[in-house]
């Protein structure tokens, strides 16, 4: 007879656990849905930028300065991330701010190379090569950070992770 009470108690505990889990799941469903849309939009912006614009720019930097359209693309992406960073749970606003700062630094470095030189340093044979080398380093750093974000967004999309686990995916976005 006592076996029935043990089974009933066990089933009750399991039912309470499922109830708590379902309550939590439905309570945060709107947040998950909103975050999924935001992450998809961010991924849709970063993916073509990484695999088309950054690759093309890095290839151009081997022999010449890239076209001026990259500056506009950097500005637009930086503004988008700066305006929408506070809406994200993972990556955190601080992590997205690091990415936005890297984009802004890259844009400023690129803009500085587009300005006409005001000294005789332009007569140095290695002047343009040195500038391209510095730009290449900065664009590679930007590409690495963009790929960290893209990889993290892909991992979140593939499987259910807790908020801490999601934030941990972007830990490489630190100064």
pLDDT digits (tens, 9 = 90+) for 10-23: 888 888 887 777 66
In the prediction, which pLDDT does 80 show? 92
Summarize the confidence of residues 92-111 as an average pLDDT.
91
In the prediction, which pLDDT does 170 show? 82
Give the pLDDT confidence of 25-45 residue by residue, as tens digits: 566 666 667 788 988 899 999
Alpha helices in the chain (DSSP H): 2-27, 29-48, 55-60, 69-84, 93-114, 127-158, 163-168
Residue extents of the structural domains in the chain:
31-168
Question: What does the buried/exposed string (b/e) look like for 105-142 if buried means 16 or more CB atoms within 10 Å of the residue's CB?
Answer: ebbeebeeeeeeeeeeeeeeeeeeeebbeebeebbeeb
Q: Which residues contact 61 (CB under 8 A, 6 or more apart)?
A: 132, 135, 136, 139
- Mean of pLDDT over the chain: 82
């Amino acid at each position: 007879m006592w076996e029935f009470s043990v089974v009933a108690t066990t089933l009750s505990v399991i039912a309470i656990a499922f109830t708590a889990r379902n309550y939590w799941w439905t309570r945060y469903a709107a947040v998950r849905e909103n975050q999924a849309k935001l992450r998809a939009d961010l991924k849709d912006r970063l993916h073509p930028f990484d695999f088309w614009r950054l690759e093309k720019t890095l290839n151009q930097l081997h022999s010449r300065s890239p076209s001026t359209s990259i500056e506009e693309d950097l500005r637009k992406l930086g503004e988008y991330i700066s305006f929408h960073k506070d809406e994200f749970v993972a990556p955190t606003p601080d992590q997205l701010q690091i990415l936005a700062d890297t984009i802004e630094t890259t844009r400023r470095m690129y803009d500085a190379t587009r300005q006409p030189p005001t000294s005789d340093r332009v007569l140095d044979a290695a002047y343009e090569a040195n500038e391209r080398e510095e730009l290449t380093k900065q664009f590679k750093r930007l590409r690495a950070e963009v790929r960290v974000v893209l990889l993290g967004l892909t991992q979140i999309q593939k499987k259910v992770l807790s908020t801490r686990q999601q934030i941990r995916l972007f830990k490489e976005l630190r100064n």
